[in-house]
Structure 1
Amino acid sequence: MKRIIFLIFSIILFIFAFIQAKPVEVELMKAFISPHSAAEGYLVKLANLSSKKVNIIFEASSLDELEDMKAEFPDMKTDYSAVTDVYSKYPGNFLSNNMRELLKNKSYKKVQEDAVKSLYNPLGIYISPPDKDPYLLATDFLLSNSKFLENDTKEFGGKYYSVLHAQVNSNDELEQIIEVAKGKTIYLTGTPVHSYYASKKSNIEINIICIISTLALAALCRFYFRSFKVVIPVAFSILFGFLFGYSAAALIFKKLHVLTFVFSTSLIGISLDYSLHYFLTGNDKEFKKSLTASMLTTACAFWGLLFSNIEVLRQIGIFTSFGLIGVWLFVILVLSDGEFKHNSFKKIKLPQKALLVVVFVVIAAGIFRVKFDDNIKNLYVPPKNLLAAENLYQKVFNPVTPEFLIIHGNNINEILQKTEGINERENINSVSLSNFVSSEKRQQENITLVQDLYKNDLKKYESRLGTKFEPQKPVLYNPENFPLVSEFELDKNSSFMMVNEPVKGSLNIADEISKILKRLRLECFTILPCVFAMLFLLLSIMYGIKNAFKITMPSLFGIIFTVALLSLCGINLNLFHILGLFLILGFSLDYSIFRLNGGEKSKDAVLMSAASTAFSFLLLSFTSFKLISSLGLTLFIGITASYILSLFMIKSNHGTR
């Protein structure tokens, strides 16, 4: 009856969680930067500016061939008609910096000459009709903004190149671009391109790893239990634990990050351990106590993550701890009694002294050589073809990596006045909302300058051209209504400006993110010993101080050995190596508790669980995504070292090692 009630409750929980859950969050920044912090929230928005921008680079042997390639490519230009409509209706309100200087200096002859050239240019364009805008001021203002210029065509190395800056809103749009570019000398760069290929490759690699790990587990079960039947309940326990953990996390956080699912793979190894122990030692008196102790200590290791300020760590803490509780309940309440015939592993006498010497030599040699790398750029290594495309883009077009200034104001008008003031004081190249629309104060200044132009030069201009103009009467435009406001708005009272060189108060996005990763790494280092102390206290209460030392020492030395070995191999540690240490602690305590309280059969279950888990993480360490491979390598070393150390440090209470 308990089993039925539990399963019904679980099914209802799963359904409710899936209904309430939102799509998985895939943006890496949102895993570590709290959206509740205004400053870090701005950083996320600024970092995501490029998340939809793709650079499409065309390469040809001649200009004609280049134009043909561009003509055949789908039209992906952004429609700025709403912007040009504003300029057309208010031609005297917006002046380029050059035009303002000419009018301030009363260089009316120069203004007139430039206007005549533009009027008689056969390829010229008119944003506002010449009879309403005699000096083509609106056209001059538009052309002064590089955003609207199609001048990204250059010659390099005997070939011609052109770049199209496109915005993609989905993978479907990106896949269409990739399909059109196939077989042509068209190169793609930009964040969406790297994200697409990295995600695609990672999915393939992880699927292959899952298949290999599953086959290896099935083969291990077949060898030990002489049957594949045991794989079915083991698989169900793993699935149940995953669903239970997901449901708890989804109900608490609503939207989970994809990294939470990556770290939740730790449930597989522990679920396997619990299930195997049930089938081998389920009738032992100490089984439930050992299983419960293992669940509580491992869950506590992950509950320690709840004290972190890192969103993804809190998600991992809830997902994994509740997943463990789910597996524990499934094993206790759902798995039916059943014995499987099984073999026994032959005892292999390990060179205990030699291995211990190796461990302590590695620790002594490596622990003082630890170095860290918090640079976010080093978390991803692009494939050769994408790296070549990025290098080509840099060499040909030499794009500048901008820095950002956050501008605050009570309204858009105030923000515009501040950005206009910064541009005048700093005299630097920048891109902000003020490049495209002026504050009301600046508009009034422009209108005054234009009226002086009309008063002093318009009759001469009309006489020269032999025509009569009727300039549009000046009216102030409300910049709150400008179409591009949302593109520069961080919130209702904040905007940004991009500058091509560092100025006081400017932010370099990559540097700022790296600082955050460093802070988070240090925070994890602070939490880890606190979690360890909490677990030691819990184990002391359950098993006594002496046994608590036995259980925790393999974990402690396994973690230290992992850090030392990585350092000896010249690997600089990043945040994800440190996060892996939490998982090592959870796994190794689980194994140590069962070794302390179990007999010969328990020893075999621990060996199979540790071997299969370590093998899975070893495969994970070969993935191309450095973030995931860092985690896999750390866990492989830590789990292997902790298990081997437990063989020497823990003597079973049942008299076996």
Structure 2
Amino acid sequence: MRKVAAFIWLVIVLGICSIAWLKGPSFESSIMALLPQSEQSPYSAAAMQSQSDAMGQLLTLMILHPEVDKARTATLNIQSILADSPILLEQSPEHLQQQSLNPKFRFSVLSDQVKRRLENGQWQQQSDIALGQLFNPVASAPVDLKADPFGLYGSFLQDSVLSSNIKTQQGLFRLSSTPQPAFVLFYRLSENAFSLSTQSQLAPLLQQVKDYASANQVTVKMSGLVIHASYGANQAKQEISTIGVGSVLGIILLILAAFRSLKPLFYTLVPISVGAMVALAITTLIFPSVHLITFAFGAGLVGVAVDYSMHYVCAQSGQTENRLTKSLFVSLLLGLISSVLAYAGLALTPFPGLRQIALFASIGLVASWLTVLFWLPLVSNLSNMRLHPSIIDMCQHLTPVYSSKRHLQAVFAATTLSVIGSVFIYCSSAKDDLDTLQTSPIQLLNEDRTVQQAMGNGYQSTFLLITATGIEALLQKEEQVRLTLDRLRFEGDLGNYLSISQSLPSQAQQHRNITLVSELYRTQLAPFMNKIGASALIKQEAQQSFNQNHTILTLSEWQTSPLGHMLSSQLIRHKDGHISSVIRIQGKFSQAAKSQLQELASHTNLVEYIDPIADISDTLARYRTQLTMCLVIAYLVVSSVLLLRYRKQLWQIILPPLSASIMAFAIATLLNGGYNLFNIVALMLVFGIGLDMGIFIKESHGAAHTWVAVSLSTITSLLAFGLLVLSETPVLYHFGVIVLPGLLFVWLLTPFIQPISYGESRNA
């Protein structure tokens, strides 16, 4: 029956792995994928996804050199390096500026400045500005005396497409705000910035750019989500290798030191390998993509799964018969149940990343446990595998001699430190802001910020969402909201904003614009033509051109224009027929402006003020509270289950992990100036691993081989999870900073709470 069970388990493992292989795993590297979806309205959730996708596809390069000719030459050379990339679509001046909107709409679509002058009756001022533009030798746009004598179309292009810091020069974008000559190249990715394929294709091209810049003494600064995503993915890959390889090397060294033989290594690593493969396969089958942090965290699985094989090998050390004893089976079963229950708590959270980690860890532990149960008893005689006496002696010397006095002192010390730690934690504050999840180094962040500031962008993450049942109603509502934005901008509380109705006014507004331009022509055309000495024929043709061109811009025509393509992400259609537009905030954004926009949204139907960062921070805080309750419930549930077996001795198993968790949590809070949700998650790991330790010792009555196995397993767990404290990925670091001291405290407390015997107590 044992052989049949082992064969069935082999078939199951091969079947699951084969199906997952045929599906083909997909990988994810975005930190945001770990977080729960927004709990605001469906409209705002769709808007945040749309804005995230749109901004994530942009890549900007700023090229600087003290000499303008060399800066321009370098820009052209870098442009040629990136020209052949299939995933980069260049946004050239010709694409973004020339014909960004058909000139036939020059009278119905006006720039904000022109519209404001005409609404205020400043006809003469508009005429004077056009006159100055006509005689300006370096004017940004030529004036067509017949089609557009007042330069309405040129004014629209100048105000609606590029910021005031960006000009066009000889077919390139040049910055006017930098201390030395600087040009910029704009690109849009054709694929997802978080795609590992995208990053692998882009990385060598960007490296060529850096090599060229270094060789030619040119400064190149980059801005774009793909830069940060690529850094985070590479960092995760390196940490996966470090943690995984470090854990495996640690196990190898421990096995060699404990047994002076490599044979037990095979019996130890096989269950771990099977557990990792099955966990990866099932995670691939259930989730659309597997996060790299799941792998990094999953690499720590060896620190837990090794417990089962380590206890089995140590228990069989020197035994003439290779069998799974009843006491060992009970220990393994209770250890599995407690660990899986602890990990399963992560699956109750709304965090996709944590649910994935919970599944990976739980499946991996179960698969490793089944491998130990079905396969290890079938291996050859283990009588020649004995724990080396030096290992037992070392553990004996390191383990304090148990006495009732030391027992009471340990209980008192653990209780006292737990109370002090609890008070310290109670007086500390939580840190739920997104800065705790920032993976990019300060150098990349500063470089990104420098590029955006040079261009005069500085878009805020905050935006307004306007929703209506149709496009005309939407545009009219947006135009009403813009009255408040214009006032805030005039008062200096708001830098700027970007909205759909600036380039696609409502039809009602377009008709009003045509009426305003008609009055401009009626009062100013004749004086204007007289000042420049134009003939009567030119004046007549100009008036006729206006009379014949009252074209209204429609949504479909706007969407097919380059300008419409550029702003398409700010127009969102919903499944229920509603349509939304996004007004993005740019530059300065004072607290007074924020308060007024929040008030405006609260009093206006289907107008939402959305701050994604604050929303996510609030969500983190809310779920941190809920997860704390889950942890308390996990302690109560597991304690209730174990109470059925251990009765009055239950406290000896619960006290070490409970006290260690409190002390580790207090230390992490002191080091980081606060605590967050991921620290709470890590406490579940300390709880699960700490329970295993107490259960194994209790079931073996403190046998020497069990304490050796516990000590070896603790070291492997510290290698697996303790290495996370060195991680530059915040999510992993916040796990490691709890687990490292937590496991150490559990290991130090346990021999004081439960006596360790160095006799040969092996119960059948």
State the TM-score, normalized to the length of structure 1: 0.89
Match of 2:550 in 1: 474
C-alpha separation in 2, matches of 1:19 and 1:128? 63
**SS in structure 2 at match of 1:504:** helix
Deviation per CA, 1:36-84, whole angstroms, max 9, x where unpaired? 8634554454455543444433333244444343333317435646983
Alignment of 1:536 with 2:639, yes or no, is yes
Inter-CA distance 114–571: structure 2 relative to 1 (3 Å threshold): closer
**SS in structure 1 at match of 2:61:** strand
Match of 1:440 in 2: 507
Amino acid at match of 1:453: L
Match of 2:255 in 1: 221
1:291 corresponds to which of 332, 344, 348: 332
Match of 2:379 in 1: 337
Match of 1:526 in 2: 629
Amino acid at match of 1:94: V
Match of 1:577 in 2: 679
Inter-CA distance 465–8: structure 2 relative to 1 (3 Å threshold): farther
Pairing 1:212-361 to 2, within 5 Å after superposition? 212-281=246-315, 282-335=323-376, 336-338=378-380, 339=382, 340-344=385-389, 345-346=392-393, 347-350=396-399, 353=406, 359-360=414-415
Are the counterparts in 1 of residues 660 and 746 from structure 2 also a CA contact under 8 Å?
A: yes
**SS in structure 2 at match of 1:283:** coil
Inter-CA distance 511–34: structure 2 relative to 1 (3 Å threshold): closer
2:534 corresponds to which of 451, 465, 468: 465
1:613 corresponds to which of 708, 717, 742: 717
Are the counterparts in 2 of residues 89 and 128 from structure 1 also a CA contact under 8 Å?
A: no
Give RMSD over aligned pairs. Answer: 3.3
**SS in structure 2 at match of 1:404:** strand
C-alpha separation in 1, matches of 2:418 and 2:652? 20
Distance apart, 1:154 and its partner CA:
4.5
Inter-CA distance 447–35: structure 2 relative to 1 (3 Å threshold): same
Alignment of 1:74 with 2:79, yes or no, is yes
Are the counterparts in 2 of residues 270 and 609 from structure 1 also a CA contact under 8 Å?
A: yes
2:665 corresponds to which of 559, 563, 572: 563
Are the counterparts in 1 of residues 336 and 365 from structure 2 also a CA contact under 8 Å?
A: yes
Distance apart, 1:405 and its partner CA:
1.2
Distance apart, 1:488 and its partner CA:
0.9
Are the counterparts in 2 of residues 93 and 446 from structure 1 also a CA contact under 8 Å?
A: yes
Amino acid at match of 1:624: E
Inter-CA distance 385–426: structure 2 relative to 1 (3 Å threshold): closer
Alignment of 1:153 with 2:208, yes or no, is no
Inter-CA distance 361–382: structure 2 relative to 1 (3 Å threshold): farther
Pairing 1:155-170 to 2, within 5 Å after superposition? 159-161=180-182, 163-168=184-189, 169=193, 170=198
Distance apart, 1:406 and its partner CA:
1.7
Deviation per CA, 1:173-193, whole angstroms, max 9, x where unpaired? 354234313313222344432
The range that moved more, 463-472 or 435-444, is: 463-472
Deviation per CA, 1:77-112, whole angstroms, max 9, x where unpaired? 356469835332322221011211232344434333
Distance apart, 1:274 and its partner CA:
0.9
**SS in structure 2 at match of 1:84:** coil
Amino acid at match of 1:504: L
**SS in structure 2 at match of 1:430:** strand
Match of 1:7 in 2: 10
Alignment of 1:102 with 2:117, yes or no, is yes
Are the counterparts in 1 of residues 177 and 455 from structure 2 also a CA contact under 8 Å?
A: no
C-alpha separation in 2, matches of 1:26 and 1:444? 49
Inter-CA distance 378–320: structure 2 relative to 1 (3 Å threshold): closer
Distance apart, 1:350 and its partner CA:
4.1
Are the counterparts in 2 of residues 17 and 248 from structure 1 also a CA contact under 8 Å?
A: yes
Deviation per CA, 1:472-523, whole angstroms, max 9, x where unpaired? 5223222255233532135432232122422422444333322222222222
**SS in structure 2 at match of 1:93:** coil
Are the counterparts in 2 of residues 367 and 567 from structure 1 also a CA contact under 8 Å?
A: no
Inter-CA distance 175–277: structure 2 relative to 1 (3 Å threshold): same
Structure 2: runs of 5 or more not aligned: 81-89, 168-173, 316-322, 490-495, 599-608
C-alpha separation in 2, matches of 1:218 and 1:117? 81
C-alpha separation in 2, matches of 1:72 and 1:461? 46
Alignment of 1:504 with 2:597, yes or no, is yes
Alignment of 1:424 with 2:452, yes or no, is no
C-alpha separation in 2, matches of 1:306 and 1:208? 27
State the TM-score, normalized to the length of structure 2: 0.78
Deviation per CA, 1:308-351, whole angstroms, max 9, x where unpaired? 22222322222222222211222222333341333242212545
Distance apart, 1:639 and its partner CA:
1.6
The range that moved more, 13-22 or 587-596, is: 13-22
Amino acid at match of 2:719: F
Inter-CA distance 159–55: structure 2 relative to 1 (3 Å threshold): same
Amino acid at match of 2:435: K
**SS in structure 2 at match of 1:86:** coil
Are the counterparts in 2 of residues 379 and 627 from structure 1 also a CA contact under 8 Å?
A: yes
Deviation per CA, 1:388-433, whole angstroms, max 9, x where unpaired? 5357558866754523112212234333222221111332321122
Match of 1:495 in 2: 581
Amino acid at match of 2:17: F
**SS in structure 1 at match of 2:27:** coil
C-alpha separation in 2, matches of 1:194 and 1:63? 30
Amino acid at match of 2:677: L
Inter-CA distance 236–349: structure 2 relative to 1 (3 Å threshold): closer
Amino acid at match of 1:514: S
C-alpha separation in 2, matches of 1:392 and 1:480? 37
Task: State the percentage of identical aligned residues.
Answer: 21
Match of 2:463 in 1: 404
Inter-CA distance 85–573: structure 2 relative to 1 (3 Å threshold): closer
**SS in structure 1 at match of 2:20:** helix
Match of 1:23 in 2: 26
Are the counterparts in 1 of residues 678 and 734 from structure 2 also a CA contact under 8 Å?
A: yes
Are the counterparts in 1 of residues 297 and 357 from structure 2 also a CA contact under 8 Å?
A: yes
Are the counterparts in 2 of residues 21 and 251 from structure 1 also a CA contact under 8 Å?
A: no
